[in-house]
Structure 1
């Protein structure tokens, strides 16, 4: 991991919001399995879809995260938005996959994929470590290098 590259944009967001959103994703995924609820799993996938593919400023989970940063009076730390969009796209794929696998009663596979999603979200929440940057550097960027 000598040189990691992330997608870059001119848009900035407060780093606290995606970190708290990651915590909310963890809670939602655990809740989905605890309640054995396909509806909660679909909600997580829809939330990732909104963040990844729409121009809507906040998804439901990021809206709650924004509200929490305001209530907790957390200091704003501007960061690049593009890596978070890439990570949301990966989160959408994983959350859709675990919802489909769960619906197909392939519970072990669903739990494994959900576990990877929770692990990545945990890294974001606890350490502000964007696993998306690592994945982008090794799986996407090589196809765009000259």
Structure 2
């Protein structure tokens, strides 16, 4: 994986390589989010097996163009089952995307070249085809719960760079 320009010039290692998730400042923590929107897709859990299935339906607050929350500051008040990512949550949630920076840092893996912290550009996650942009069937209010199983898709759980 190519290193960011600052690292190539001999600057200190970037924070995500030197700090634990718990040691990050709030700004550093928030900057780990690449803006892909995959974690904001509705997920269905099989009651018998516990297996989690992703759908192509976005949370009511997910903006399909920016792939960001429309009301991030109040998201948990507006969507009570919105999962707040914390270091503890990142260590226990199994459905985080393979490409998720929180997961990668947790596992001691490098960030992908398209991650905005590496590329220096927020658009790189969309240009690389990682985000949900252009892949959403719609937001949850556009579907009945009975339709959710018909919207199960594999791509959110896959590493698009693998293989």
Q: TM-score range by the shorter chain?
A: 0.3 to 0.5
TM-score norm. by structure 2 comes to: 0.34
Q: Based on CA coordinates, which of the two structures has the bigger radius of gyration?
A: 2
Q: Which has the higher strand share?
A: 2
Q: Which has the higher helix share?
A: 1
TM-score norm. by structure 1 comes to: 0.37
Q: Name which structure has the greater RCO, CA cutoff 8 Å, separation 6+.
A: 1
